[in-house]
């Protein structure tokens, strides 16, 4: 599918809004269990919720949205659930490609793709290509992603460049490593939201979120609405971010 050459709309400028929001979409399984349904029922409901939040981003002034879809630890779940999630990812990409492209959304995937099946990888690559000229919302989907794994992979690539002479080891500092991370083209998240009442970061964007603001909310992901998203974005504007400095 060729990129749409038409001019793209611009994200609304909202003073004090988070430019980049990252979301740990938790609670799909519990949401389904509460309704007497299998866990995959909740994952399908959660996938539908993604579209609503993506569509809400421009009015909130959010240019970048990163969502945690499948972690490196999620392979430990039952074979039925893992297979169902992989099928859901393939179905979601196939169904949403045209809508995302036409809505001005640019999609990127982060994580280690080597363990994913070839069909899913092709769909991911095709979606990235089809939306590569968009810029209204930058949607990043983390699949087979873990923060520790990402840093380990980045360090491995950095070490290879040092060994080959491409990189001077004396020039390696905290500005160097981010260039090797999966998120090297993205700004660090301003706000990280975790749904479902759990208060932990679960190995998500460990390096990038060093100075992010956090919101841990009780809402299960399939119940997370654009209205609640908007309230959290608005509340972010009232936070004081000093990045380790002292107010003078």
The more confidently predicted of residues 175 and 243 is 175
Question: Which residues are bridge partners to 138 per DSSP?
Answer: 64, 106
Q: Which of the residues 59, 74, 161, 188 is marked catalytic?
A: 74
Of the pLDDT bands very low, low, confident and very high (cuts 50, 70, 90), residue 11 is confident
Average pLDDT over residues 59-87: 97
Question: Which residues are bridge partners to 68 per DSSP?
Answer: 24, 142
Contact 145, 182 (CB under 8 A): yes
How far apart are the C-alpha atoms of 209 and 199, rounded to whole Å? 15
Residue 203 a catalytic site member: no
Average pLDDT over residues 191-210: 97
Q: What percent of the chain has pLDDT over 70?
A: 93
Average pLDDT over residues 206-220: 97
Average pLDDT over residues 186-191: 98
- Encode pLDDT of 32-72 as tens digits: 999 999 999 999 999 999 999 999 999 999 999 999 999 99
- Could you identify the residue written with the tokens 């107010």? 247
> Whole-number mean pLDDT of the chain?
94
State the pLDDT at residue 247. Answer: 63
Q: What architecture is domain 20-146+187-234?
A: 3-Layer(aba) Sandwich (3.40)
Question: What pTM was computed for the model?
Answer: 0.92
Residue 182 a catalytic site member: no
State the pLDDT at residue 1. Answer: 47
Average pLDDT over residues 229-247: 78
State the pLDDT at residue 192. Answer: 98
φ/ψ of 215, rounded to 5, equals -130, 115
Tokens of 49: 């919720």
State the pLDDT at residue 23. Answer: 98
Of the pLDDT bands very low, low, confident and very high (cuts 50, 70, 90), residue 87 is very high
Average pLDDT over residues 228-248: 78
Give CA torsion, residues 174, 179, 185, 186, to 10 deg: -30
Average pLDDT over residues 210-227: 97
């Amino acid at each position: 599918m060729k990129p749409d050459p038409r001019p793209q709309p611009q994200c609304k400028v909202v003073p004090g809004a988070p430019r980049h929001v990252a979301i740990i979409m938790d609670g799909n399984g519990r949401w389904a269990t509460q309704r007497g349904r299998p866990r995959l029922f909740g994952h399908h409901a959660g996938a539908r919720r993604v579209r609503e939040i993506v569509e809400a981003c421009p009015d909130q002034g959010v240019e970048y949205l990163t969502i945690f879809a499948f972690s490196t630890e999620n392979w430990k779940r039952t074979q039925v659930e893992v297979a169902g999630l992989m099928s859901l990812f393939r179905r979601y990409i196939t169904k949403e490609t045209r809508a995302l492209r036409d809505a001005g959304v640019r999609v990127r995937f982060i994580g280690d793709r080597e363990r994913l099946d070839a069909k899913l990888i092709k769909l991911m690559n095709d979606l990235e290509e089809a939306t590569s000229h968009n810029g209204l919302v930058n949607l990043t989907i983390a699949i087979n992603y873990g923060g520790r794994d990402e840093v380990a992979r980045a360090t491995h690539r950095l070490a290879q460049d040092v060994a080959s002479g491409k990189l001077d080891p004396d020039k390696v500092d905290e500005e160097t490593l981010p260039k090797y991370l999966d998120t090297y083209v993205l700004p660090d998240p301003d706000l990280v939201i975790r749904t479902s009442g759990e208060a932990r970061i679960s190995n998500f964007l460990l390096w990038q979120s060093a100075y992010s603001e956090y919101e841990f909310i009780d809402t299960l992901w399939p119940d997370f609405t654009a209205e609640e998203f908007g309230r959290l974005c608005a509340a972010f504007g009232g936070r004081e971010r000093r990045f380790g400095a002292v107010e003078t």
